[in-house]
Amino acid sequence: MAGFSFVVESRDGRARAGRLSTPHGEVETPAFMPVGTAGAVKAVLHRDLREIGARILLANTYHLMLRPGDALVAALGGLHGFTGWDSPFLTDSGGYQVFSLAALRKLDEEGARFQSHIDGSAQLLSPERSIEVQQNLGADVVMAFDECPPGDASREVVAEASARTTRWARRCRAVHRRTDQCLFGIVQGGVHLDLREASARELLELDFAGYAVGGLSVGERKPERDRVLEHLDPILPEDRPRYLMGVGTPEDLVDSVARGMDLFDCVLPTRNARNGQLFTRRGRLSIRNARYRDDPRPPDPDCACPTCRTASRAYLRHLHQAGEMSAATLMTLHNLFYYLDIMREVRQSIRLCRFEEWRGITLRRLAAADQDGS
């Protein structure tokens, strides 16, 4: 694969600090990827994302396939040319929509047949079509098409979804042609350790450039998720990047780094920001609370983000209550900075061989924090 490499530079226990190199730049890991579903992170500009330290964005295969269409994106220079973001992109496979849009689709061995949520048109998303779309989009890191069962699915359903994910992974591997893209396989198996192990070992035989762990954060309990990651850590190759899909809170990210994960994405910081909830080192803060009507303090006095340098809680509450678009922008920048800054501290603590000490202090502080951020 032209222009790709991954190296683990430091370890502290199971936690790894490394570097993923792509044709569009390097990403220090562990890393959090802001979610840009339609090729943009809601409410913020690429310029601001760069300023707060974002180095890789996630875009959504399913949504871009339907609108504006992957052929159009390809004609306009792929995601990088189309959006103007010149750093790395990762695209998911569309497999999560097989789970989240279950009411609109029918699943068989060929793929997922569904009605477009935009215009009702009939669509087929198969392993081959998923790879075709992702090659057209031109992301640096792309995903094999998978089936993601719900967290409460029976063992029988999870076993079949896991087996189908392996069969689909083989088909993805067979048709992927771009040498300037890094293709990841996705480990499934729910909370069943034997199914997870079988899925991982089958995917290892296909020699993917990296491995994602899917099918978590879909309703399982946190101890079950942790147990799965602990089981997979010695099975997944040391020299390949590991991506935990769709997880989660700051505490989840820290605990998952401790179990060997390198890459993360989640809509939580951006979605919560648009709903008026801010992550701070003193707990979560709901800006709608009347107590902030005349509060001159920044959202987080310990934060160096552009929002905390310029905006008071009173001003943010006013903007949010008035329905001003800038409220979403300012609060999204803060939440993303918080997540990215946590990852920066994670990397630094691993390199200093102080990760477990830092983790303990951080998790105790978050657990003790006032849940309204005061």
3: in domain:
no
1: in domain:
no
**365 or 99: which leads in pLDDT:** 365
Residue 371: the pLDDT is 60
Q: What is the pLDDT of residues 35-62, one digit of tens each?
A: 999 999 999 999 999 999 999 999 999 9
Rounded mean pLDDT, 212-233: 95
**Residues 245 and 282 grouped into a single domain:** no
Q: DSSP letters of 240-299?
A: S-EEETT--SHHHHHHHHTTT--EEE-SHHHHHHHTTEEEEBTEEEETTSGGGTT--S-S
End-to-end CA separation in angstroms for the chain: 49
The domain boundary residue, chosen from 233, 266, 299 = 266
Q: How far apart are CA 277 and CA 295, in angstroms?
A: 16
Amino acid at 39: G
Q: How far apart are CA 32 and CA 174, in angstroms?
A: 30
Q: What is the pLDDT of residues 75-126, one digit of tens each?
A: 999 999 999 999 999 999 998 776 676 666 788 999 999 888 889 898 899 9
Rounded mean pLDDT, 163-181: 98
Amino acid at 87: S
Amino acid at 289: N
**Residues 313 and 196 grouped into a single domain:** no
Letter string b/e over residues 248-262, b meaning 16 or more CB atoms within 10 A of that residue's CB: bbbebbbbbbbbbbb
CATH, residue 187:
3.20.20.105
**Residues 212 and 313 grouped into a single domain:** no
Rounded mean pLDDT, 278-297: 96
Domain count across the chain: 2
Residue 370: the pLDDT is 61
Give the mean pLDDT of the chain: 95
Q: Which residues contact 167 (CB under 8 A, 6 or more apart)?
A: 109
291: in domain:
yes
CB 212 within 8 A of CB 186: yes
Residue 96: the pLDDT is 79
The parent domain of residue 147 ranges over 31-266
Q: How far apart are CA 165 and CA 169, in angstroms?
A: 6
**Residues 315 and 285 grouped into a single domain:** yes
pTM of the model: 0.97
**Residues 346 and 247 grouped into a single domain:** no
Nearest alpha-carbon partner for 267 in 52, 69, 92:
92
| Proportion of the chain in helix, strand, coil states, percent, rounded to 5 | 45, 20, 40
Q: How far apart are CA 174 and CA 169, in angstroms?
A: 9
| Whether pLDDT at 258 is above 70 | yes
20: in domain:
no
Cis (ω within 30 of 0) for the bond into 30? yes
The Cα angle at residue 56 between residues 52 and 59, in degrees rounded to 5: 115
Residue 369: the pLDDT is 81
**Residues 153 and 68 grouped into a single domain:** yes
Nearest alpha-carbon partner for 238 in 275, 204, 272:
204
The residues annotated with a catalytic role in the active site are 92, 265
The domain boundary residue, chosen from 208, 238, 266 = 266
| Whether pLDDT at 294 is above 70 | yes
C-alpha dist (Å) from residue 46 to 82, 90, 324: 13, 15, 20
**Residues 182 and 306 grouped into a single domain:** no
Nearest alpha-carbon partner for 285 in 361, 370, 343:
370
Three-state secondary-structure class, residue 336: helix
